[in-house]
Amino acid sequence: MAANATHQFLKILSSKALNPTLSLPLTQIRKFPISQNPRNYTSVLQAAVNDNVGSSSGGRSGGLSSPPPPPVNEISERIDINPPKGTRDFPPDEMRLRTWLFQNFREVSRLFGFEEIDFPVLESEALYIRKAGEEIRDQLYSFEDRGGRRVALRPELTPSLARLVLQKGKSSPLPFKWFAIGQCWRYERMTRGRRREHYQWNMDIIGVPGVAAEAELISSMVTFFKRLGITSADVGFKVSSRKVLQEVLHSYSIPENLFGKVCITIDKLEKIPIDEIKKDLKLVGMTEEAIEELLQVLSVNSLSELEEILGSSGDAIAELKQLFSLADKFGYSDWIQFDASVVRGLAYYTGIVFEGFDRKGKLRAICGGGRYDRLMSTFGGDDVPACGFGFGDAVIMELLKEKGLVPELTPAVENIVCALDQELQGAASLVATKLREKGQSVDLVLENKPMKWVFKRAEKINAGRLILIGKNEWEKGLVRIKNLATFEQCDIELDKLE
C-alpha cells in the first residue's frame, strides 16, 4: 500500500501535462511531516494523492485545476527589530514612566475642572491643510485610503478639537473646559526632545473671550511643573500677542492674507540666520524699511518699551497688561516674561501666545499655545472664542533627566502565589482568584519552580507577601503566608485570607 501510494504521488509531481501548477521548484512543494510509523506515512501520501486526483464516485471535484496550497516551510527574511525611525517602544520600565507622566497630566486637569476627551488618530488631511497653512503639509504622514479619501495621522490635537466643537454645535452650553492626551505624528528633522511621534497633553477653553482663560491655562502648566519639582528658576514662559505683529504690518499696509506667512517666518528667528529671515520676509512682499521696524519690535522684551513704540491705544498692550496683572494674582508672576518675538508657528493663532522654555536654553520649547478665536470659521462653522496649549511628553522627560527628577518606579504586586507541588496548581489558582476578587494584585507562579527562583521573582516584582500552597496545609484548609518585608510567616484559613 505504501509503495503504491508513493509511486502515485511521485508520478503526479513529475507530470506537467496532468497538472502544470505542480511543475514547481522543490523548495516550493508542500512539505509533509515524515512519521516513523509506516501506516501514518502512507496515510499522508495517500491524502496528497487524493488532493490531486479527481474521484469518479463524487469525491473532490476540480482537484486537478485547483492551485497548490501555500508552502508551509517558507524561508523568512530577518526583519529590523527596531521601531521605525523617530518612534519608540515602551517596555515595562518606560511604560511606568509614561503612565506616571500621564497621571500627572490628568490630575492637574482634574484640579482645574477639565473633562477628558479623545479623537481618532486618523483624520481627514484637509483638517490640517486648511487650518495650519501649507507648511504642515510637508510634515504630514498622509496617504489616500482604499476609498480614495485623503487622510493623515494627526500632527496635533487642536483641529480634531475644533471638529468636535462644531459637531456638538449648540447642543451643549459653553464654556467647554476639555483636555486630551493623544499620540501625534510629524515627519520632521529629529533633534533632542523632537521625534516623529510623540504624546501631547492639550488643555483648551472654548467660549471664554477674556484673557482670564489664558491666565488659567498658564496657571495649570505652572501647577504641573511644581508637582514634578521644577521651579521658576528652571522654567519660564515667554508671552506675547499676535496683535503686536498685526499692528506693525498694518502700519506698512501689509495685506491680511500674508499675516500667516509672516508668522511662520518669524517663528524661525532662533532657528535660522537673520539674513535668511530677512530674505523670506522680502519674498512675502515686505519692504526693507518694514522688515527693519518689525525686527526692532520683535527684539523688545518689556511692555513699557513696546508701549513707547506702538502706543497704548491698541488691544495688544491692554490684553498683555491684564495677563501680567492676573499672573500676579495667580501667584506665578516670576514664571512669565514678555518677549515680542514669540508668535508660534501655526497660522490660526489670533491673540496672546506663550511658550514654556528651560532657562538654561539647552532644549527646544517645552510647551506652547495661545488664543485662536477664528479657527472654527476655517472649517465652515461660526467662530467661537477659544484658547489652549499643547504640552509634549518628549521635552519634559529630557528636562526631568537633566534635573535628576525622573522618579525610580518599580513594579509593585501585593501577592505572589506559588504551589509547592504541581498537583496543587489548581489550588493556587483558586487562591489567586479569591484575592483578585477582593481587589488585590496577584502574580501567580504558573510553573513548577524551585523556591530560590520564587524568591527572586518576588524581589523583582516587589511583592508584599508570598503565599505558599503546600500539601499538608491545603488538606487542613490552610495556606502559608510570608510577609516579605518582615519575613514573618503564619498559616491562615483560606476563608479568612484577606
What is the C-alpha to C-alpha distance for residues 86 and 212, in angstroms, rounded to an integer?
Answer: 38
What is the C-alpha to C-alpha distance for residues 358 and 275, in angstroms, rounded to an integer?
Answer: 26
Give the SS3 label for residue 468: strand
Pairing of strands 176-185, 197-206: antiparallel
Residue 118 is which amino acid?
D
Which three three-digit cell numbers place residue 228?
Answer: 514634578
Which backbone phi and psi does 355 adopt, to 5 degrees? -140, 140
Pairing of strands 122-124, 478-483: unpaired
Give the SS3 label for residue 74: coil
Strand partners, 191: 194
Question: What is the number of other CB atoms lying within 10 angstroms of the CB of residue 73?
Answer: 10
> Where are the extended beta strands (E) located within 93-248?
115-116, 122-124, 141-144, 150-153, 176-185, 197-206, 235-241
In the DSSP assignment, the letter for residue 194 is: B
Q: Which of 389, 355, 124, 130 is nearest to 260 (CA)?
A: 130
Grid-cell match 484559613, residue found: 493
In the DSSP assignment, the letter for residue 75 is: -
Give the SS3 label for residue 204: strand
Pairing of strands 141-144, 150-153: antiparallel
Residues in the chain, total: 498
Which three three-digit cell numbers place residue 497?
Answer: 485570607
The binding site for L-histidine comprises 156-158, 186, 200, 204, 344, 348-349
What Å distances lie between residue 3 and 55, 205, 232, 391, 486, CA to CA?
21, 82, 88, 74, 72
Grid-cell match 507541588, residue found: 421
CA 228 to chain CA centroid, Å, is 20
Question: What is the number of other CB atoms lying within 10 angstroms of the CB of residue 173?
Answer: 7
The binding site comprises 156-158, 186, 200, 204, 344, 348-349
Q: Which of 193, 205, 175 is nearest to 387 (CA)?
A: 205
Question: H or E stretch including 82?
Answer: none
